[in-house]
């Protein structure tokens, strides 16, 4: 695999302090191992990124940004359907480049190939010469077909549109004018720099799925899992600072709720608190599908428990019993103790899915405050709001 360089500005600068999102550091992955055990329905990987020479000083709670590239097979299919070689020069407007770049470079490392837009359908409708294709496109663009169009686009990527409407011949420039910029992805760091000063650890959920009879992938997750050989190909990265982090006062107790890959920053938290000799207690709520196959970093958590660095560990493996159990259910089961910790000054942290988990955990917290504190819902809401103001309730959700 060729070296991945997004542009000449990514060459190594003399002053390492200038590494940033605008000038990422070319790091190498030194470890890539599967965390799930055989039989799991998931693919979660632990990656170690070598930051030697980058001059980075990250803290627990920060994130690492990764610039991915698109799958070569998808790029090749798009070039074929455009009737292009890849050498054609294009100037994607959203990139604001001083000079035109080869089409293959634009499609590989600069532009997002997923999430097609309505404007693309309109362009195809104007260009199509086949009567059946024109009729189908016109139907999708009809005012009364908004929901149908949304569903149609949701199941497709740009390559699908080129495949389904071949009579609409676009020039390379016309095609790239419809694409958005390929953005870096952020991952919560799963390590503390106090323990791993020249490394960044990532807990990676690899995304693979199927729509419209095509295999799809998460661009960045499969880039790291499949297309960055260990110790060989540089990967463009940067550190993204965050306000999310363990309490500055090491005497404070720490309650952490992190199912799935939401566990990542809390591995960093505990590493950090052990390294600094923090005296506050640590309580972890962790959940996933099956204990036997999906308990991420199980050996480490058990070792911290045995060493007294983790005071409590409550797990919720949703599919190990008939009725599904989640982290918010474990919170409710331990409501009295949870309330004692919070009243005693503990900080409460949540990391993971924003759509359901974080919302359900937030509701459970409000209910526990109301029930255990003898408060009305309104008073409980004010109490939780105050926790946020004091930075004793922090969330890293996505």
Range list of β-strands (E), the chain: 25-34, 44-50, 63-66, 89-90, 101-102, 185-188, 199-205, 208-211, 214-217, 235-240, 254-257, 282-288, 312-317, 347-352, 393-397
Same domain as 261, residue 208: no
Hey, what are 194's tokens?
């106090």
Q: Is residue 93 in a domain?
A: yes
Query: Residue 138: which residues within 8 A CB-CB, separation 6 or more?
Result: 125
Q: Is residue 41 in a domain?
A: yes
Give the pLDDT score at 8.
37
- In angstroms, the CA 221 to CA 356 distance is 22
Of 154, 176, 198, the domain-final residue:
176
Same domain as 269, residue 382: yes
Same domain as 203, residue 60: yes
Q: Is residue 142 in a domain?
A: yes
Q: Would you say 264 and 351 are in contact if contact means Cβ atoms under 8 Å apart?
A: yes
Which residues, in sequence order, are bridge partners of residue 50?
28, 199
Same domain as 128, residue 232: no
Same domain as 171, residue 84: yes
Same domain as 368, residue 313: yes
Same domain as 361, residue 288: yes
The CATH number of the domain where 313 resides is what?
A: 3.40.50.80
Q: For the beta carbon of residue 31, count every other beta carbon within 10 angstroms.
A: 14
Q: For the beta carbon of residue 130, count every other beta carbon within 10 angstroms.
A: 13
Task: Tell me phi and psi for residue 248, to 5 degrees.
Answer: -65, -35
Give the pLDDT score at 7.
46
> What DSSP designation does 264 have?
H
Map residue 17 onto helix, strand or coil: helix
Query: Residue 2: which residues within 8 A CB-CB, separation 6 or more?
Result: none
Same domain as 365, residue 258: yes
Q: Is residue 245 in a domain?
A: no
Same domain as 365, residue 321: yes
Count up the domains in the chain and report the number.
3
SS (H, E, C) 116-175: CCHHHHHHHHHHCCCHHHHHHHHHHHCHHHHHHHHHHHHCCCHHHHHHHCCCCCCCHHHH
Same domain as 99, residue 44: no
The CATH number of the domain where 47 resides is what?
A: 2.40.30.10
**Domain range for residue 339?**
254-397
Give the pLDDT score at 354.
93
The CATH number of the domain where 106 resides is what?
A: 1.20.990.10
Give the pLDDT score at 27.
97
Of 132, 153, 176, the domain-final residue:
176
Q: What is the pLDDT along the chain (398 residues), one digit of tens a residue?
A: 333 344 434 444 444 447 899 999 999 999 999 999 999 999 999 999 999 999 999 999 999 999 999 999 999 999 999 999 999 999 998 898 999 999 999 999 999 999 999 999 999 999 999 999 999 999 999 999 999 999 999 999 999 999 999 999 999 999 999 999 999 999 999 999 999 999 999 999 999 999 999 999 999 999 999 999 999 989 999 999 999 999 999 999 999 999 999 999 999 999 999 999 999 999 999 999 999 999 999 999 999 999 999 999 999 999 999 999 999 999 999 999 999 999 999 999 999 999 999 999 999 999 999 999 999 999 999 999 999 999 999 999 99
Q: For the beta carbon of residue 93, count every other beta carbon within 10 angstroms.
A: 11
Same domain as 222, residue 277: no
Give the pLDDT score at 18.
73
Same domain as 278, residue 365: yes
Give the pLDDT score at 12.
46
**Which residue has 């799930």 as its token pair?**
36
């Amino acid at each position: 695999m060729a070296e991945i360089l997004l542009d000449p500005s990514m060459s190594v600068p003399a002053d390492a302090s200038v590494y940033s999102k605008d000038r990422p550091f070319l790091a190498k992955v030194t470890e890539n191992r599967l965390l799930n055990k055989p039989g799991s329905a998931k693919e979660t990987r632990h990656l170690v990124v070598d930051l030697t020479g980058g001059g980075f000083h990250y803290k627990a709670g920060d994130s690492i940004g990764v610039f991915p590239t698109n799958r070569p097979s998808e790029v090749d299919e798009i070039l074929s359907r455009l009737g292009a070689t890849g050498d054609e020069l294009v100037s994607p407007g959203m990139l604001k480049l001083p000079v035109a770049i080869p089409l293959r470079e634009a499609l590989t490392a600069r532009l997002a190939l997923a999430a097609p837009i309505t404007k693309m359908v309109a362009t195809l409708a104007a260009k199509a010469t086949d009567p059946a294709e024109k009729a189908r496109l016109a139907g999708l663009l009809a005012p009364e077909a908004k929901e149908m169009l949304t569903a149609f686009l949701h199941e497709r990527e740009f390559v699908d549109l080129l495949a389904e409407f071949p009579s609409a011949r676009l020039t390379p420039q016309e095609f790239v004018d419809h694409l958005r910029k390929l953005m870096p992805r952020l991952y919560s760091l799963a390590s503390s720099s106090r323990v791993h000063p020249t490394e960044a650890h990532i807990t990676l959920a690899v995304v693979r799925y199927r729509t419209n009879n095509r295999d799809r992938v998460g661009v960045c997750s499969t880039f790291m899992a499949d297309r960055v050989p260990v110790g060989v190909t540089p990967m463009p990265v940067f550190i993204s600072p965050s306000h999310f982090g363990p309490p500055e006062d090491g005497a404070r107790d720490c309650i952490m709720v992190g199912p799935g890959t939401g566990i990542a920053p809390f591995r960093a938290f505990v590493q950090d608190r052990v390294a600094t000799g923090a005296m506050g207690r640590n309580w972890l709520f962790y959940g996933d599908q099956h204990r036997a196959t999906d308990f991420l970093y199980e050996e480490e958590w058990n070792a911290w428990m045995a060493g007294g660095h983790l005071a409590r560990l409550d797990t919720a493996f949703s599919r190990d019993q008939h009725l599904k159990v989640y982290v918010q259910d474990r919170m409710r089961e331990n409501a009295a103790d949870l309330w004692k910790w919070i009243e005693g000054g503990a900080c409460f942290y949540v990391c993971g899915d924003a759509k359901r988990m974080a919302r359900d955990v937030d509701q459970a917290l409000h209910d526990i405050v109301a029930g255990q504190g003898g408060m009305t819902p309104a008073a409980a809401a004010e109490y939780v709001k105050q926790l946020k103001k004091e930075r004793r309730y922090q969330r890293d959700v996505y």
